[in-house]
Structure 1
Amino acid sequence: MDSMFEDTQTPEMTLPYGVDLNEIAAGPKPTTSLQRRRSPLAEPSRQLASLEAIDLSQLPHAGEFSARIAEAGWAELRPATLEIFQINVGKLCNMTCRHCHVDAGPDRREIMDRETIEACLQALDQTTAHTVDITGGAPELNLHFRYLVNECVARGKHVIDRCNLTVLLLPTLQDLPQWLAERGVEVVCSLPHYRKFNTDNQRGQGTFEQSIEALHRLNAVGYGTGNPQRRLTLMSNPVGAFLASNQTKMEQEWKAGLLKNHGVTFDRLIALNNMPISRFLEWLEASGNLEGYLELLVNSFNPATVSGLMCRNTLSISWDGRLFDCDFNQMLNLEVQSPTDQRPHIRNFHPDWLAQRHIVTGRHCFGCTAGAGSSCGGAIE
C-alpha cells in the first residue's frame, strides 16, 4: 500500500535526536535500567519467581488467578474480537522512570527494524482491528516511527502514540506535535500527577516542568480542545503501593488544576494500576511492600472487569516481532499460546489460530482486575 504521506523520519546517524540520550539534557533519569545494573530482576523468569514466592495461601484460592476467574464464571480466558494492534517499537527511551514496567532507557538497544514493521503492516491488513497503539520505550525514537504512523493512517486506522512528553523537547523531534496533529494521531501522555512533587518523585527531577512545556506545545497545535482529530489523553498511575483512584473524579480534579495553575487543557484522563513487574517490582521488594501489594491486588479482585481485559481484544507485538496477549505478558516473556506447533511470530501471523488461543495468565494479572480494573485504556468498570 502506498503511503499517503512521505516518510520524513530523520536518517540514522550517531546522534539522530540532536542530543546524546544518555545525558540529563535529553530527559530526567532518576535511576538506570535493571539490565544496565545487571540486576537479577532484569530476567523475566526471576520476576515471575519473585511473585510466585510470596505466600498467598491465606487469600481466596491462594492467589491463583485462573481459580478466581473461574469463580467469576470464566472457565478459561479466551480472546474476543481483535480490535487493537499494540506495537512496541523498542525499549529505547530518553528517560529511566522508577516505575517503568518495560525497563526502558537510553541504554536499551532493542529496536524494531523496518522489516518487522512491514510484517506488522501485512498482519494488520489481515484483520479488522480499528486501532494501532504504538508504544515503547519512547516510540518516537524509533527511526521508522513516522513511516509506521503514515502507513497506519493511510489504512484508515485510529493511531495512538504513547508519549512520555519530554521526548517532544528533543531538538530533532520538536516538530512532532504539529506532525502528529496533521495526521489525527491521538497522543496518550504519561503524567503521574498534576502536581510537581509526585511527578518528579516518580519520573525524575525536572520532569514536571518539561511535561508542562510539552503539553503547551500540544495545546498550541490544537490538542486537548475537544477535537476528536486532536485527542490528548493523560495517563496516570499511583506513586506508591496502592490502587489508582476513581478515574472520573481524578479527571475533573486534574482538568481544574492544570488549567488554573498552568493553562493546560486535555480531553480525558486514564488511570492505571502499577503492575508488580520490572522496576516497580524492584521498588516493592526494596521497600518491603511486595507482599502487601500482592495481597491488595488479590483482595481487590473485581469479577466485573474480566470481560473488558485488554488481553481479550488486543494483540501485543514486541520489537522483534514476537506475539503476546498483552504488554505486561510481553515484558515477562510470556508468549501467546499457539494451537499449532509453529512458534507465533508476526511473520507467520494468521487471524484464525490467533482467535483459537487461550490467554496466558499469572499472578501479575491481578493488577488488571483490581478495583475498577486497569488496562491500556484506563479503568475497565
Structure 2
Amino acid sequence: MSSPTATVSLKQRHALLSSTQQQINLLEAVDLSHLPEQGNFEATLNHHRWEKLTPSKLEIFQINVGKLCNMTCRHCHVDAGPDRKEIMDLATIDACLQALDQTEAHTVDITGGAPELNPHFRYLVEQTVVRGKHVIDRCNLTVLLLPSMKDLPEWFAERGVEIACSLPHFRQPNTDSQRGDGTFEQSIAALRKLNAAGYGKGDPKRKLTLVSNPVGASLSCNQAALLEKMWKEGLMENHNITFDRLIAINNMPISRHLEWLEQSGNLQAYMELLVNSFNPATISGLMCRNTLSVAWDGRLFDCDFNQMLELEIQHPDRKSLHIRDLATELLAQRQIQTGRHCFGCTAGKGSSCGGAIA
C-alpha cells in the first residue's frame, strides 16, 4: 500500500529553509515593531512579570526516534519524509533508558517522523513499559496499514500504550489538502483497526487521542469541548469510529509550515496573530518547563519545537548537553531557550503536545 504524499521535504529539495538558521532569520525579519514589546518573546515575558522561563519538575521524557516517515505532510514542523534517513540507533536508545532511570518522569512520549519505522521502536516501548512508565506513541495512522505494522494495534493494546493520532479534520477535503490525497481514507481504515483492538472505548489502558492541526493560518479552536463533541458525532455518524479525546494544537511557524506561510503571503499576518493572541495564563504550563526533548542523535532540547530549530539546551557551564551525559541537576539549572516561534505555544488557549494549556 502506498502512503499519501502532500509535498516533498525541504531537505530533498535543497530549499533555503532546510537550514534552521535561515528559518530563525526569516522569523526575526518579520516586522513586528508595531506590536506589543515589538514581538520580542522575552520582553513579553518580562512585561507579564516572568523574568525568565525556568524548568519545573520533569514529568515527560519525549524521544524523537528519527525523521523517517511514510508521509510528507505540508504542515510538518519536523520536515519528515521517506527521504529522511536520520534514525536513533540502539546505543542511543539504551542511553535514553539509562537517563530515564535517573528521573522521576512518569510519561515517555515517543515521536518522529513515524516513530514506528525505527527498527528499535518495539524494544524501546517494551523497556519503557517494564519500567512502569506511561507510553504515548505519536502515530500518523497511515503507518498502521503497512504490511510490517498490521499487528501493531493489538500489540499496543497488550502493553497499554496511548495512541495520539494526527488527523487534521474529521472531513476528507481538509485532511487530504494538508496531508495528501488518500490520507483520510487510510486514516479511517487505521482508526477502525484501533477500535477493533479496543481503543477509543473509554478504557484508560487503551486510550485513543486524536490530534488536530488547523488548516491554513488560523489558531486552534478555543472551544475544546464543543469541537470534541462535533468530531465524535461526525466520525460516529459517518464512519462508526469512536475515540476518547481530541486535542487541537497550533501550527508552529517552523519548517514546512513556515515555508507555506511565506509562499502564500500569510507569514506577516500569522505572526501578528500569534503575538496579539499572547495569553499570560499559558506560561506556567508550557511544555518546555516539564518536558525533556531528546533528538534522534541524543542531543537534548527544551521542547520538540526548539529541537527542530536546533536550539539546544544551554547550561551555564556547558555549551550543550547529550543524553549520555544527563544529570538531573544540570537540567534543573538550565535556562530555557526562547524565540519568536514560542508565541505559537502562548497564543489563545495555548498549545503543547498535550493540547491547550490555559
Q: CA deviation at 1:342?
A: 5.8
The reply to whether residue 64 of structure 1 matches residue 40 of structure 2 is yes
Which residue identity is paired with 2:327? H
2:176 is aligned to 200
What amino acid does structure 1 have at the position aligned with 2:217? A
Structure 1 residue identity aligned to 2:103 = T
Q: 1:218 aligns with which of 194, 202, 206?
A: 194
SS at 1:178's partner residue?
helix
Q: Does 1:114 align with 2:101?
A: no
CA distance in 2 between counterparts of 1:148 and 1:328 reads 22
1:306 aligned partner: 283
Name the residue aligned to 1:229.
205
* Partner residue, 2:60: 84
Question: Is the 8 Å Cα contact of residues 65 and 366 (structure 1) preserved in structure 2?
Answer: yes
What CA distance in whole angstroms lies between the structure 2 residues aligned with 1:46 and 1:37? 15
Aligned equivalent of 1:8 = none
1:152-189 residue CA offsets vs partner (Å, 9 max, x unmatched): 00000000000000000000110000000000000000
Please tell me whether residue 291 in structure 1 is matched to residue 268 in structure 2. yes
Give the match for residue 281 of structure 1. 258
Distance 1:334 1:82 in 2: 19
Match of 2:119 among 132, 143, 147: 143
Cα drift, residue 343 of structure 1: 2.9
Q: 1:3 aligns to what? A: none
The equivalent residue for 1:133 is 109
Query: Counterpart of 1:9?
Result: none
Q: Work out whether 1:54 is the aligned partner of 2:5.
A: no
Report the number of matched residues.
357
Letter in 1 for 2:339: G
Partner of 1:42: 18
* Superimposed CA distance per residue, residues 282-323 of structure 1 (whole angstroms, 9 cap, x where no aligned partner): 000000000000000000000000000000000000000000
2:232 is equivalent to residue 255 of structure 1:
yes
String of CA shifts for 1:323-370, please: whole Å, max 9, x gaps.
Answer: 000000000000001232363000000000101110000000000000
Which residue does 1:366 correspond to in 2?
343
Task: Please give the alpha-carbon distance, in whole angstroms, between the structure 2 residues aligned to 1:53 and 1:110.
Answer: 30
Q: Determine whether 1:177 maps to 2:153.
A: yes
Instruction: Please give the alpha-carbon distance, in whole angstroms, between the structure 2 residues aligned to 1:67 and 1:259.
Output: 46
1 CA distance for matches of 2:63 and 2:110? 5
1:333 matches 2:310: yes
Residue in structure 2 matched with residue 73 of structure 1 by the alignment: 49
Q: What is the identity, as a one-letter code, of the residue corresponding to 2:213?
A: N
Tell me the distance in 2 between the aligned counterparts of 1:359 and 1:197.
39
Q: Could you say what secondary structure the match of 2:12 adopts?
A: coil
Gaps of 5+ in 2: none
1:160 paired with 2:136, answer yes
Is residue 350 of structure 2 the alignment partner of residue 350 of structure 1?
Answer: no
Q: Taking every aligned residue pair, what percent have the same amino acid on both sides?
A: 69
| Distance in 2 of aligned mates of 1:120 and 1:71 | 37
Contact 2:312–2:320 (Cα < 8 Å) also in 1? no
Q: Is the 8 A contact 1:88 1:316 kept in 2?
A: yes
CA contact (8 A) 1:186 1:233 kept: yes
Unaligned stretches of 5+ residues in structure 1: 1-24
Q: TM-score, normalised by structure 1?
A: 0.93
TM-score, normalising length: structure 2: 0.99
Q: SS where residue 247 of structure 2 aligns?
A: strand
CA distance in 2, matches of 1:339, 1:59: 32
Conserved? CA contact 1:339–1:353, under 8 Å: no
Please say if 1:190 is aligned against 2:166. yes
1:316 and 2:293 are equivalent in the alignment: yes
* Aligned-residue offset at 1:249: 1.4
Residue 44 of structure 2 aligns with an amino acid whose one-letter code is R
Give the letter aligned to residue 74 of structure 1: W
Alignment partner, residue 27 of structure 1: 3
Tell me, in whole angstroms, the C-alpha distance in 2 between the residues paired with 1:62 and 1:248: 34
Q: CA deviation at 1:69?
A: 1.1
The whole-number CA distance in structure 2 between the counterparts of 1:305 and 1:343 is: 27
